[in-house]
Structure 1
Amino acid sequence: MEQKITLQKQTVQSTMLLPLWGRAVASEKNPDILYDRQAIDIIKNCDYDFSSIAKTFGEFGGICYVVRARKMEDAIRQFIKKHPRATIVNIGAGLDTSFSRVDNGTIRWYNLDLPDSIAFRQSFIPDSERNVSIAKSLFDTSWFDQVSFNPQDGIFFISGGVFYYFKEEQLQEIFCSMAKRFPGGELYFDAESRQTVKKSNRMVQKTGNKGAIMYFCVNNAKELENWSPLIHLVSCEKYFKGIPFNPQWSSGIRFMARVSDWMGMMKFVHLGFAE
């Protein structure tokens, strides 16, 4: 039975369809990077025209989405190797399916997103005992109390393709609140340079979404330490570092990946909170 997409197109929430499409399309061609069976199945069972997304973002865009998922999952695996009973909070979870690939049988996972996004998510990906959704805004800090947190077990926050849509002062406030409430926690997210954010805005608007404007950018991740003495930079890594290049990629795809890393267009930022 096909299920129709019901999200409003002119919203930030509807951008969850972009990484879903990217992981489905690109993971079939790049299983050595990541294979997302759930995303492929959801795409096949949706009565939705993804052609404008495919036309706008193309093969390289899809690869970027599957690389982001892979890097996020690598970071999670590294953390839970040291903290096997850790709490993982996926901020702006959308239709992310990472839990199914990284679960070690003991972690506790929370999907944080707006109520309509969570309702949409649950129509495809139901909650389970250790994979629970929280239908709240990131900035509604009452979600802090819904997250199981034991400092000895550790807590790891991830956020893929989300922080772009907020202004720096908003993120500074919530990061500082998280650092106070979850000492010893860590936060891993992707970011773009100022020029790349401008380009990304143009691409999203080409898909017909005029209501999802990106604001936040990171040129120098070290500057995030100025937000609070409780926040320190663990690492800032190039987007394609450690990713196996598919021999079937065109020379143009390879060139764009190398230029992106060389110019610092996209990156992964890893922050730590003081204990």
Structure 2
Amino acid sequence: MAWVRRHLGDGERVVRVAALHGGVTAEMRRLSVAGPGGAARELVLRSYVEPFFVDRAEEALGREGGALTVLAGSGGVSAPRLIAADPTAAHCEYPSLLMTCLPGRTLLDDEGLETRVRLLARQLAAIHAVCPGEQPPKYEALTTADTVVVPEGADAAAWAAAIDIIREPAPPYEGRFLHRDFHPGNVLFDTPATRITGVVDWAGASWGPADLDVAHSCTNLALIHGPEWGQRFADAYEEAGGALAADPGDRLYWRVRDALAFSEEVEAVARPWRAAGRTELTTRVVERRLDAYVTGLMTPG
């Protein structure tokens, strides 16, 4: 808090701290700040606490800080404004980043999904249209054929074929500015969900194929709302003017790569969905949806 106070304006003070829930990699807090003459604003403090993520915090906070700086000059994407960063914990107990707090709320329920998918697709296309003065680091895709965890009772033949796909080298692509973790949990909507008010969590900002960001959104939607929503999002993205790989095999590669990555962390991704009210999304339910999604990808036609 001493570090935070050094980055406040004259006469400002933190009057309330509230934990924000739903994140996986970092602890998030909303700071209510009061200023002279009754002025008030809210900030967000991101801190990497778990040892696994602390070891990766310097790179992650560097990516996020760089992305927020780029997006400050972008008219098509509403993102938090960077205030300060301490990526090596030189001043804080843990590596941390301080930024402005955006209005809006995340929405994970099924009602109104058709409209939200179109808004999400348009927003992702706008992100991919951003032209940074300096390219962010290249994307990372850590899952390999040997790290995939095939769910119990899954379609063995479909999963074996999917795993064989990612044994191959990544196809060539035209680079784009990527969010790298674009999904409903990182997008804020107004009420009654007719407009996106902001996109958060830019710690994975990268340079890579648009297909990879689209694939990540497809998988998330398939697991939260049902396997059919994966393809529906991809279609909406193209309708919004986004460009995917011309070769269907290349598209399949990125879709499969992202889906298989989820096999390694089903419980980790399902936990915040349940905390947000989707209590029916147990680990087993999400595994079954992942199996259905992967099987669908591997089924011709």
- With the length of structure 2 as denominator, give the TM-score of the two structures: 0.31
- With the length of structure 1 as denominator, give the TM-score of the two structures: 0.33
Q: Which of the pair has more CA radius of gyration?
A: 2
